[in-house]
Structure 1
Amino acid sequence: MRELPGIDEERLRACLQDQYDLIPVVLEFLPLGHDYDAGVYRVGSTQGSEYLLKVTSRLLYEPSYLVPAYLRDQGITSIVAPVPTSSGALWTQIGNWRVLLYPWINGESSLTGMTAAQWQEVGSIFRRIHQVRLPTFGFESLRKERFDPTEYAQWIQIFEVQRLPDLSSASASLRALHSSWLEHQPTIHNGLATLEQLAKILQSRTFPYAICHADLHARNLIRAPSGHVFVIDWDEVMLAPKERDFIFLRKPHAEAFFQGYKDTVIDWSLVAYYLWERVVQDVIYDVHNVVVRDDWAEETRAQVVQMFHDSLGPRGGNLRAASEASAYVDSLSSPLPLYPPF
């Protein structure tokens, strides 16, 4: 979130003192990330410790906090899990905002800058994550992959029938969205159709499932000055085939990752499905926020519309990767797992 959340700073300070026994001397808003429903702050306390404070208005998805805490308890120290409140809870509430506190980790988090050694470390981290088995109780709400794009198709159909026509006479950013959607409509529909075709194939097969972060990319990795890497942001965690965590691995980083992972057998039909799913998800996420949110400035809407437009054009990295993965799958004579073509 690049704009301040609608929550009073004094309420945040009081929450830190009441729920975490912390007296903040620094509470600095950080305009970071692409989660439009959350904001983060750097907290400095009188006790000398630093933390990252996150506030979010997303619907509660308990595994986002329970799973990283469990993984951390299993000895995977590279997992960043919430700091418990004084009563042992992993989160607390201020009105419509959920409040979480995390350890502050000095380091960098960006799409560039990861070394081959760090990607190899990430590979070894995720090998351990994918080997962890959850207990039979306590994680019942954890999402499980079903290869069902029905909701995506319904959303796009309803948007085109009920909302899209009205955008042509709205604000400048909404008019730009209307034009961009019409320009890229064939691409959007082709992406959805490809996703549905892959889903039918995958629904007829069985796969081993693992705990998947489900949003593994460099922005969700913190590179500490020591060189070690920490995994953050478990909002999308789920049970799925391990390929769910491989969609953002691109040359030359993928080779280093799999040197650490030590299992380079990949089912590319799964990778293709997840790449096309991400393309469709990004379309829906961007459009929904631009059209529905009433707390954004026009400048913010315009920026997101431009992101939407670029993602479906020649600069769209996920779209290009999805197309390449589909072409690779189509070139194969068998859907059996294969080694990635580095």
Structure 2
Amino acid sequence: MLTKPDISDDTIIACLRDTFGLRITQVSFLPLGWVNNATYRVTANSGTPYFLKLRRGNFNEIAVAVPAFLQAQGIRPVMAPVATTTRDLWVHAHGFDWILYPFFDGKTGFEVALSQTPWITLGASLKAVHTTRLPAALAERVPHEDYSPRWRNTVKAFHKQVEQDRFDDPIAVSLAAFWLTKRDEIESIVERAEQLAFVLHDRAVKLAVCHADLHGRNVLVGMDDELAIVDWDEPILAPKERDLMFIGGGVGGIWNNDQEVGWFYQGYGRTEIDLVALSYYRYERIVVDIAEYSEQIFGLQGSVEERQKGLRLMNQFLPNNVVDIAHRTYQQLSRRAFGSSFLF
């Protein structure tokens, strides 16, 4: 949320006292822009800062249980929540799900370029995540990849709406006008994602624990190149390419050069990469972004400022950004007879 929700600082202080046993002396709202999340920096009387996330909407406890388990296995960069006095990892109060984290003093990958050491650490950490076996009771609660057509169908519906409707809202008008200039390319993106999903659906693949949203905003770098991997909101058991698609994938206009990719795989180690899966996930990520930003802009969801920010979707079509890189990945796949993998 870019604007502070209707919950007082006194309520926050009281809730953190009653559920986490903390005496909070300072509450600072952080306008980070997540539509259904409000975030705060809160400071205890000891001087220790914490990061508080208040979530609205659907919440699945695996968002806290999975990172807590991973960190307990010794994967230190995984950011796990602070437990309550009753050893719970979250609490529901005042219309929100409350999750408290240690405050990591660092910058995101969107704010600062990762140097060699953090890239190697990220690679090693992700390899540890991908090779970790979850306890059966936890694994059965984590979604398995099913290559759902949900978002592709959403984009198809908006595609028809953009071609048939007229919009009064200026932000919607801007997105619709841009969409019409890219109509053929958007159709191709959806069709290719569908084609690749069909191939993968009947394939026997090894599933790994995946973060599922490993872009630059969810990787923080602090002092002495310390690393934190945050926002484990939707972990999934999927082919490892679900995460590896971000490395060299250009999300946000970064992480799109060969040197960084090489540093990452120094830490991750030699591995076979399935080009079908890599290509699918790069296209499907674009599909999801188009669908979600369209729901926000055409559906008039959120504040004007939040919806205006949604127009950054257009940047994805710039050179060496996600669309360009997804096309190149698909072309590489086509040259390899549509079924090959390669070793990195």
Same fold by TM-score, threshold 0.5 exceeded? Answer: yes
Say whether 1:254 aligns with 2:258.
no
- The answer as to 2:180 corresponding to 1:188 is no
1:67-78 → structure 2 map (5 Å cutoff): 67-78=66-77
User: Closer, same or farther in 2 for the Cα pair 1:23/1:291, shift >3 Å?
Assistant: farther
Aligned counterparts of 1:285 and 1:164: Cα–Cα separation in 2: 18
Range with greater deviation from structure 2 (87-96 or 45-54): 87-96
1:86 equivalent in structure 2: 85
* Number of the residue aligned with 1:280: 287
Tell me which residue corresponds to 1:159. Answer: 158
Check the 8 A contact 1:22/1:47 in 2, yes or no: no
CA–CA separation in structure 2 for the residues paired with 1:62 and 1:169: 39
TM superposition shift of 1:108: 1.7
Cα distance in 2 for partners of 1:139, 1:203 equals 20
Distance 1:17 1:316 in 2: 48
SS of equivalent to 1:248: coil
- 2:95 and 2:137 mapped to 1: Cα distance? 28
Distance 2:167 2:220 in 1: 43
Shift in Å, 1:99: 1.1
Residues 7-46 of structure 1 correspond to what in structure 2 (within 5 A)? Answer: 7-32=7-32, 35-46=34-45
Give the 3-state SS of the residue equivalent to 2:27 in structure 1: strand
Distance 1:42 1:183, change over 3 A: same
Q: Sequence identity of aligned pairs in percent?
A: 28
Map 1:1-342 to 2 at 5 A: 1-32=1-32, 35-111=34-110, 112-148=112-148, 150-161=149-160, 165-166=164-165, 168-250=166-248, 251-296=258-303, 298-305=304-311, 307-311=312-316, 313-315=317-319, 317-333=321-337, 335-340=339-344
Q: Which amino acid aligns with 1:229?
A: L
Uncovered stretches (5+) of structure 2, i.e. residues with no partner: 249-257
The SS at the match of 2:51 is strand
Match of 2:136, SS state, is coil
CA deviations 1:274-331 (Å, max 9, x no partner) are 00000000001111122335541x23322312x12222x3257111111010010001
Contact kept? 1:5, 1:38, Cα under 8 Å: no
* TM-score normalised over the length of structure 1: 0.91
Q: Which amino acid aligns with 1:308?
A: L
Distance 1:281 1:316 in 2: 19
Amino acid at match of 1:89: D
Partners of 1:300 and 1:231 in 2: CA distance: 25
Q: 1:281 to 1:316 in 2, by over 3 A?
A: farther
SS state of the match for residue 252, structure 1?
helix
1:171 and 1:269 mapped to 2: Cα distance? 39
8 Å contact kept, 1:62–1:141? no
Q: Which runs of 4+ in 1 moved over 4 A?
A: 160-166
Secondary structure of the corresponding residue to residue 224 of structure 2:
coil
Once superposed, what is the RMSD of the aligned Cα atoms? 2.0
Q: Which amino acid aligns with 2:53?
A: K
User: Aligned letter for 2:331?
Assistant: A
Q: Which residue identity is paired with 2:244?
A: F
SS at match of 1:137: helix
- Give the letter aligned to residue 133 of structure 1: R
TM-score scaled by structure 2?
Answer: 0.91
Instruction: Tell me the secondary structure at the aligned position of residue 138 of structure 1.
Output: helix
Secondary structure of 2:60's counterpart equals: coil
Any conservation in 2 of the 1:272–1:322 contact (CA below 8 Å)? yes
- Compared with structure 1, are the counterparts of its residues 94 and 184 closer, same or farther at alpha carbon in structure 2 (3 Å cutoff)? farther
Distance in 1 (CA, whole Å) between partners of 2:124 and 2:138 is 26
> For the Cα contact (< 8 Å) 2:108–2:218, is it kept in 1?
yes
Residue segments in structure 1 that go unaligned for 5+ positions in a row: none
Aligned length: 334
Distance (Å, rounded) in 2 between the aligned partners of 1:101 and 1:293: 31
Q: Following the alignment from structure 2 to structure 1, what is the Cα–Cα distance between the partners of residues 138 and 209?
A: 14
Cα distance between partner residues in 2 of 1:133 and 1:169: 49
Q: Rate the CA distance shift 1:294–1:337 in 2: closer, same or farther, 3 A.
A: closer
- Aligned counterparts of 2:309 and 2:268: Cα–Cα separation in 1: 37
Counterpart CA distance in 1 for 2:320 and 2:90 is 36
State the Cα deviation string for residues 213-237 of structure 1 (Å, max 9, x = none). 1111222112120222111110121
Does the 8 Å contact 2:142/2:235 carry over to 1? Answer: yes
- Asked if structure 1 preserves the Cα contact closer than 8 Å seen for 2:219 and 2:227, the reply is yes
In the TM superposition, what is the alpha-carbon distance from 1:86 to its structure 2 partner? 1.3
